[in-house]
Amino acid sequence: MFQMKWVWHNLAGYKRRYIMALSFVVISSVLVFIRPMLTQTVVDQVLVGIPMADGTVFRNYDILIPLLLGMVGIHLFRMCMLNAGVYNCDYASQGMLINMREHLYDRIQTQDRTYYDRNRTGDLMTRLTGDLDTVRNAVSFVFREFTIDIFLFLTTAVYFFTINALFTLAVLAVTPLLLVLSKIFSKRVRSKYIFLREKLSEMNTKAQEDISGNRVIKAFAREKYEIEEFAKKNNAYRKANIDAQFTWLRYFPAVHVLANTLTITILLVGGIFIINGWLTAGELAAFAALDWAISEPMRNIGLLLNDLQRFFASADKVIEMYYQHPRIVDSPEAVELPGRMRGKVEFKDVSFKFDGKTVFSGISFVVNPGETVAIMGSTGSGKTSLVNLIERFYDVSSGAVYVDDIDVRKLKLSSLRGGIGMATQDVFLFSETVDGNIAYGDPEMDEAEVRRFAKITASDFIDDMEDGFETIVGERGVGLSGGQKQRIALARALAVRPAILILDDTTSAVDMETEKYIQKQLKELDFSCTKFIIAQRISSVKDADKIIILDGGKIVESGTHQELLGRDGYYREIYELQHGTGKAGERSGAE
């Protein structure tokens, strides 16, 4: 029942309101008994009248209006209670939802990269939408109905006992059977709901990816294939849904038969009791009148258990996400940097493993504030991993990374990352205005500043757009070309005035002329900035103070453009390939 505890915990701030709301609905449901009583009085005293000693019948017309008004009044009161109860159940459940969402949102934002490697966006979305809604529904509806049913059942049972204990026992004899049945049913249906929400998640994932990957689908003319694939997921979900409902329907007759045995026992046993004189007709009438108040809760229980199991299946998934703690967090003794980061970076004998495989080992180098370091190497040689260690998106396997002479693991993440600006390979822009995207790291930034950074990165093409800086770009920036996205991403990174700027292949899709312009601008920044540049083009790296070549998990070359050209190594080879000189150049010239 951890799920219940978790729900209760998240009702923080709304617990009292929730309890109050439940009491309201309970009161209103118990008040149901009053209306028939008043009707009875009207019938007895006004309609039928009271036989007088003198043989006449006294019809008490005077109480008619007050009684009828009372009937309306009590009903009004009851409805108000119910309305308030229902509304406040919703209110409390919405409050709980917010508590959960806020916590889950924090989880989303602070998870490690590895978490996102393992989990599909569609699945996470399922948890945040469908699953959470099931949990909310449980609190606002299922638990409420449970409470009403239990109260109705208990009060009626107690009332029955006061009338005739023996008869009550006979009537309620079937309840244990119902409990056993419920237990078996719950167990059976649980797995169905776990399966069902798995299918929902799969369908959600498929839809999500096909929306994100719509360009690839079109490029390969795979629409039909995707439609068929989606149909499979859609169908699996449909079947799981039907299966879950059929499971319930298999138990439905048994539950309803048991609930209805009440009606039958009242009649059969009641009849026999009366015939034997163990029960009066009036007493039986009382039982018969409230028959529903006992059998209705029993009938409902099956449906509610069904919903309850659905709740458990979903809650488990949300809870999993809720308690998933990121591994990379501030250590207890983490410190803030005093003032602005200077921008010194040092790798000391760093090794890094990913997925159990060594990406690189024994990496050592020092970069002084303001220097520019370029990193080159073959595809998959670990360039990106290396710069990710500076931001501490991963922790080193051994050795240490220092920023301003402090081990990054001993720095507060916000302080570390706040000093670093990064533009990644895979440009992700938010569906926001261009202005909002550039000012992402500093939402307070005024428009003039945004424009200035746009100019530095040659992003002023934005001005030519119809809405200028107010143009909304799509998610992944798909309304823009690759080069445009990269330039905006670069402006975004610069706009935080970082002490360390990491450009991970950020200008690969930018044409050479523009790149040259950007490089020139980067040299003239009005703040000190250590730069890391990962690039494939010689033109992007040649001006660096130091060029590092990564290969086979080691630094194989390191030095300036001139120094490396002097050596017959990787760098020189790349240079020749790109500039059509030497061996490689002959080959391309011949073609």
Partner 1 sequence: MEQERQVSAVARNKFDIDESLESPFNIQHLKRSLVYVKKYKGKMILALVFSLFSVIAALFGPLIIQEALDVAVANGDIPYLLLLVGLLALSIGVSILLNVLRSRITAVVGQNIIYDIRQDLFEHLQQLPFSYYDNRPHGKILVRVVQYVNNVSDMLSNGIINFFLEIFNLIFVTVFMFILDSRLALVILAGLPVLVLIVLLIMPVQRRAWQNFSNKNSNMNAYLHESILGAGVTQIFTRERVNAEIAYTQFHNCRKSFLHAVFVSNWVWFSVEMISVIVGAAVYGAGILLIKPMATFGTIIAMGDYSWRFWRPITNLANLYNNLINTVAYLERIFETIDEPVDIQDAPDAKPLPPIRGEVEFKDVVFEYDQGHPILNHMNFKVKAGESIALVGPTGAGKTTVINLISRFYDISSGKVLIDENDISKATLHSLRSQMGVMLQDSFVFSGNIIDNIRYGKLDATYEEVVAAAKTVKAHEFIETMEKGYQTEVNERGSRLSQGQKQLISFARTLIADPKILILDEATSSIDTKTERLMQEGLNELMKGRTSFIIAHRLSTIQHCDRIMYIDGGIIQESGTHEELLRRKGKYYELYMSQKEDAAV
Query: Which residues inside 421-480 make contact with partner 1, applying CB under 8 A?
Result: 421-422, 424-426, 428, 430-433, 440-441, 443, 461, 464-467, 470-472, 474-476, 478-480
Q: Which amino acid is at 8?
A: W
Select the span of 161-169, 214-222, 334-342, 399-407 touching partner 1 (CB under 8 A).
Answer: 214-222
Q: Burial letters for 304-320: b for 16+ Cβ neighbours within 10 Å, e otherwise?
A: bbbbbbbbbbbbbbbbe
Q: Which of 155, 186, 212, 324 binds partner 1 (CB under 8 A)?
A: 212
Is the dihedral angle over the CA atoms 454, 458, 460, 462 positive or is it negative? negative
C-alpha dihedral, 301 to 305 to 306 to 311, nearest 10°? 140
Mapped onto helix, strand or coil, the DSSP state of residue 304 is helix
CA 33 from chain center: how many Å?
44
62 near partner 1, judged by CB under 8 A: no
* Residues of span 243-262 touching partner 1 by CB under 8 A: 245-246, 249, 252-253, 256-257, 260
536 near partner 1, judged by CB under 8 A: yes
Cβ proximity to partner 1: between 275 and 448 the closer is: 275
64 near partner 1, judged by CB under 8 A: yes
Select the span of 310-318, 329-337, 343-351, 569-577 touching partner 1 (CB under 8 A).
Answer: 569-577
Min dist CB 249 to partner 1, Å, is 5
Min dist CB 333 to partner 1, Å, is 20
Cβ proximity to partner 1: between 1 and 444 the closer is: 444
Q: Which of 393, 400, 445, 449 binds partner 1 (CB under 8 A)?
A: 393
401 near partner 1, judged by CB under 8 A: no
154 near partner 1, judged by CB under 8 A: no
Min dist CB 465 to partner 1, Å, is 5
579 near partner 1, judged by CB under 8 A: yes
284 near partner 1, judged by CB under 8 A: yes
- The whole-angstrom separation of Cα 240 and Cα 193 is 8
- 582 touches 576 (CB < 8 A): yes
Q: Which of 4, 37, 48, 366 binds partner 1 (CB under 8 A)?
A: 48
582 near partner 1, judged by CB under 8 A: no
- The whole-angstrom separation of Cα 491 and Cα 423 is 9
- The whole-angstrom separation of Cα 104 and Cα 320 is 10
Structure tokens given for 220: 């390969």
Select the span of 88-96, 147-155, 167-175, 360-368 touching partner 1 (CB under 8 A).
Answer: 88-96
* Residues of span 501-520 touching partner 1 by CB under 8 A: 505, 508-514, 516
Structure tokens given for 396: 């080193």
Q: Burial letters for 141-166: b for 16+ Cβ neighbours within 10 Å, e otherwise?
A: bbbbbbbbbebbbebbeebbeebbee
369 near partner 1, judged by CB under 8 A: no
Select the span of 204-212, 304-312, 315-323, 403-411 touching partner 1 (CB under 8 A).
Answer: 204-212
Q: Please calculate the CA angle 398-400-401 and round it to the nearest 5 degrees.
A: 135
Cβ proximity to partner 1: between 348 and 442 the closer is: 442
Instruction: Determine whether 435 is exposed, middle or buried from the number of CB atoms within 10 Å of its CB (0-12, 13-18, 19+).
Output: buried
184 near partner 1, judged by CB under 8 A: no
Min dist CB 147 to partner 1, Å, is 18
Min dist CB 446 to partner 1, Å, is 16
- 461 touches 484 (CB < 8 A): yes
357 near partner 1, judged by CB under 8 A: yes
Is the dihedral angle over the CA atoms 284, 286, 288, 290 positive or is it negative? negative
- The whole-angstrom separation of Cα 581 and Cα 576 is 5
Q: Burial letters for 396-423: b for 16+ Cβ neighbours within 10 Å, e otherwise?
A: beebbbbbbebebbebebebbbbbbbbb
Structure tokens given for 414: 């916000």
Min dist CB 441 to partner 1, Å, is 4
Select the span of 82-90, 162-170, 335-343, 445-453 touching partner 1 (CB under 8 A).
Answer: 82-90
**x-or-dash pattern for partner 1, window 302-341, by CB under 8 A?**
----------------------------------------
Q: How far is CA 462 from CA 471, 483, 487, in A?
A: 8, 13, 11
Cβ proximity to partner 1: between 12 and 264 the closer is: 264
- The whole-angstrom separation of Cα 395 and Cα 407 is 11
Mapped onto helix, strand or coil, the DSSP state of residue 398 is strand
Q: Which of 353, 537, 554, 572 binds partner 1 (CB under 8 A)?
A: 537
| Number of CB atoms found within 10 A of residue 199's CB | 19
Q: Which of 379, 405, 523, 568 binds partner 1 (CB under 8 A)?
A: 379
Cβ proximity to partner 1: between 112 and 407 the closer is: 112
Cβ proximity to partner 1: between 162 and 379 the closer is: 379
128 near partner 1, judged by CB under 8 A: yes
